[in-house]
């Protein structure tokens, strides 16, 4: 009997049989634990969207027979497929492809999993002229090749997939972009089509509405419009320029970060932006990360613009001998780093070439690891909540138990690290997902993803246990026994890169920052030239009271002044006309709430201070 028949669940798109993700058409040959996997789950969406990518590829091959197919994975927000075509697809082409996808879905074509011999698979894809598939087969070591077939379309794939094209109910092709084969600029440029699919038209509409809202909140538009930051091609791609208002927000973020970290026992340091290449040989980055580093020649010697802050902190630790009584030592830095990102992956403030990390390293004994990790996670959640984020997803990334040889460190070290991270997470009470095989090569880690106001996930805090760096730099502490002991290291960030965090904040708040973060908290607006003197007086009093204020005494109509202040998303607009000047008052308008009426300056100042609730 097939798994789908056993389940009898119409919402299932796949199943788990004894923990293994499979097609619903797989036959059960023995007693097993069978669980449905629906679209509501992350795994279910991956199956559904991967199936939709195959449906799109089938539609493309029918409409454009000369197109060559490459790969088409599911991604966090849908799917894409890369095609080698003579001319890049246009918006009109996407409409035709989408229409054909609906036609194929209505036909309810069975999606069949097959295994072919290597020889048969090669012959089949050769006959179809699918050279990219032949290249992919070369990288598959197995003699049995897994493919999925739906009528006239066959694709290399391990699956699983939905049972038929009829399961794809609602589709939208979103955009087309260029992409190099294997992300290598030396290879041919392909046409990448992005799309999304849902089990109902209602769900698709909800998604498209969210997408429109996301476009409205796009930090790449709001940032320049609100005079926060800009990018300039003449200076180079991926390099952000912070304007006065953006710098104010950045300074407020850093001041809060500094206060919380000093209170948590961190010591703040600064390290150079450039260092000799030999330092990066010691750290191992030059061997494994050179393609993402900027290398410079200085007086016939090679230097590096630092891509991360770790080695600098190692050198500071090594300047003196540390006793076990000195530990834990928590060292934090707002460290600016530079990474040689490809131009094709740059994306506003979210992906840049120069950025500043809220980096920190904790040097501790093995017994202290759990408490330090607990402290990092607790501090991360506290700070993110202060910035208006309440929902989180947590991943515990551990090594692949079937391939332990690719990781540094002993079994004992990995056991200590993993158990310490697990216990720390359990103490926080945060639910988490265990991700086997997702650990970095030098130790297990915790990743915290925040959910913004649109429900989108953003990776910010990370906490990594490291067996590698301390050993490379010969870092140790003097134990109670008077002997040298290797120091244990915890790498961590809370906000990540401040450029990226700024982009997230702009989109989370749609540019309307809470009062404590707003670069301009109030703007005084004169109705006519006659009130300009009183408007300036009000502005001076607010400034003296610590309010970030601007005064607009231009001769424009008051409606235009209010409209501009609203567009700039300034929290408080204080309108002063003849009546307000005579009474020594202001007419208060609140962004997003409208007119609040006339109030004394003292009452208005009290209201601003009440809303200026700086965390902590």
166-217: pLDDT as tens digits = 999 999 999 999 988 988 888 999 999 999 999 999 999 999 999 999 999 9
Specify whether domain 224-508 bears CATH 3.30.930.10: yes
Mean pLDDT of 585-592: 95
CA 82 to CA 350: how far, in whole Å? 24
pLDDT band at 616 (very low <50, low <70, confident <90, very high): low
CA 307 to CA 277: how far, in whole Å? 12
Instruction: Note the pLDDT tens digit of each residue in 498-537.
Output: 999 999 999 999 999 999 999 999 999 999 999 999 999 9
Is residue 409 predicted with pLDDT exceeding 80? no
Residue 293's closest CA among 65, 281, 571, 366? 281
Instruction: Note the pLDDT tens digit of each residue in 93-121.
Output: 999 999 999 999 999 999 999 999 999 99
CA distances from 359 to 310, 383, 448, 450 (A): 8, 15, 15, 18
The angle at the Cα of 585, spanning 580 to 588, to the nearest 5 degrees, equals 90
Mean pLDDT of 207-232: 95
How, if at all, do strands 445-451 and 572-576 pair?
A: unpaired
In the block, residue with structure tokens 């703040």? 268
- Reported as type and span, the H/E element at residue 207 is helix 201-216
pLDDT band at 290 (very low <50, low <70, confident <90, very high): confident
Active-site residues: which are they? 310, 339, 357, 359, 361, 445, 491
Residue 599's closest CA among 566, 563, 573, 569? 573
540 contact partners, CB below 8 Å, separation of at least 6: none
Q: Other CB atoms closer than 10 Å to residue 79's CB: what's the count? A: 27
Of 3.30.980.10, 3.30.70.141, 3.40.50.10160, 3.40.50.261, the CATH number of 39-213 is: 3.30.980.10
Is residue 461 predicted with pLDDT exceeding 70? yes
Is residue 467 predicted with pLDDT exceeding 90? no
CA 512 to CA 208: how far, in whole Å? 23
**What CATH number does the domain located at 522-611 have?**
3.40.50.800
Kindly state the percentage of the chain with pLDDT values over 70: 100
How, if at all, do strands 78-84 and 68-69 pair?
A: antiparallel
CATH 3.30.930.10 residue ranges of the chain are 224-508
CATH 3.40.50.800 residue ranges of the chain are 522-611
Look at the chain and count its residues: 616
CA 447 to CA 377: how far, in whole Å? 9
Residue 517's closest CA among 380, 389, 381, 611? 611
pTM passes above 0.95: no
Q: Return the pLDDT at 437.
A: 77
CA 165 to CA 145: how far, in whole Å? 22
Report which of residues 538 and 472 the model is more confident about.
Answer: 538
Nearest-10 crossing angle of helices 244-263, 369-386: 140
CA 606 to CA 597: how far, in whole Å? 15
């Amino acid at each position: 009997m097939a798994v789908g028949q056993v389940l009898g669940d119409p919402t299932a798109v796949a199943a788990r049989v004894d923990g293994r993700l499979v097609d619903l058409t797989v036959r059960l040959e023995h007693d097993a634990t069978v669980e449905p996997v629906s679209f509501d789950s992350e795994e279910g969406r991956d199956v559904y969207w991967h199936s939709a990518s195959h449906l799109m590829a089938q539609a493309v091959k029918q409409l454009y027979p000369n197109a060559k197919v490459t790969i088409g994975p599911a991604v966090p927000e849908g799917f894409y497929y890369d095609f080698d075509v003579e001319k890049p697809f246009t918006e009109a082409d996407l409409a035709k492809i989408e229409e054909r996808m609906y036609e194929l879905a209505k036909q309810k074509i069975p999606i069949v999993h097959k295994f072919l011999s290597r020889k048969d698979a090669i012959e089949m894809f050769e006959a179809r002229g699918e050279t990219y598939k032949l290249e992919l087969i070369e990288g598959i070591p197995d003699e049995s090749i897994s493919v999925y077939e739906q009528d006239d379309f066959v694709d290399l794939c391990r699956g699983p997939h939905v049972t038929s094209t009829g399961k794809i109910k609602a589709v939208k092709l979103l955009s087309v972009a260029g992409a190099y084969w294997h992300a290598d600029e030396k290879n041919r440029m392909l046409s990448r089509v992005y799309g999304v699919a849902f089990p109902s038209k209602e769900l698709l509409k909800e998604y498209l509405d969210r997408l429109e809202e996301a476009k409205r909140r796009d930090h790449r538009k709001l940032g320049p419009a609100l005079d926060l930051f800009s990018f300039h091609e003449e200076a180079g791609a991926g390099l952000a320029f912070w304007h006065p208002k953006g710098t104010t927000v950045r300074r407020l973020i850093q001041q809060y970060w500094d206060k919380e970290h000093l209170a948590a026992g961190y010591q703040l340091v600064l390290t150079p932006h450039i260092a000799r290449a030999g330092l990066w040989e010691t750290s191992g980055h030059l061997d494994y990360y050179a393609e993402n580093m900027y290398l410079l020649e200085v007086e016939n010697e090679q230097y590096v613009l630092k891509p991360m802050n770790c080695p600098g902190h190692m050198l500071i630790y090594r300047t003196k001998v540390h006793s076990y009584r000195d530990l834990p030592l928590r060292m934090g830095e707002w460290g600016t780093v530079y990474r040689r990102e490809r131009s094709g992956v740059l994306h506003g403030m979210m992906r840049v070439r120069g950025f500043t990390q809220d980096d920190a390293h904790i040097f501790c004994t093995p017994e202290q690891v759990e408490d330090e990790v607990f402290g990092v996670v607790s501090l991360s959640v506290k700070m993110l909540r202060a910035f208006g984020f309440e929902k989180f997803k947590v991943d515990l990334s551990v090594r692949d138990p079937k391939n332990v040889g690719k990781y540094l460190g002993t079994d004992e070290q990995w056991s200590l690290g993993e158990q310490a991270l697990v216990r720390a997470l359990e103490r926080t009470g945060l639910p988490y997902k265990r991700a086997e095989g997702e650990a970095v090569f030098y130790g297990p880690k915790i990743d915290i993803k925040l959910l913004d106001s649109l429900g989108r996930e953003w990776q910010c805090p990370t906490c990594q246990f490291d067996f590698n760096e301390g050993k490379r730099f010969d870092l140790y502490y003097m134990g109670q026994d008077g002997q040298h002991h290797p120091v244990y290291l915890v790498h961590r960030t809370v906000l990540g890169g401040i450029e990226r965090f700024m982009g997230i904040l702009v989109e989370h708040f749609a540019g309307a920052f809470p009062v404590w973060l707003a670069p301009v908290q109030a703007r005084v607006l004169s109705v006519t030239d006659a009130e300009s003197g009183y408007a300036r007086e009000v502005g001076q009093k607010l400034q003296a009271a610590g309010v970030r204020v601007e005064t607009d005494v231009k001769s424009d109509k008051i409606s235009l002044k209010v409209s501009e202040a609203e567009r700039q998303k300034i929290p408080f607009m204080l309108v002063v006309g003849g009546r307000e000047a005579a009474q020594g008052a202001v007419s208060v308008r609140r962004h997003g709430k409208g007119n609040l009426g006339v109030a004394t300056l003292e009452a208005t100042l009290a209201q601003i201070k009440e809303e200026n609730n700086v965390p902590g």
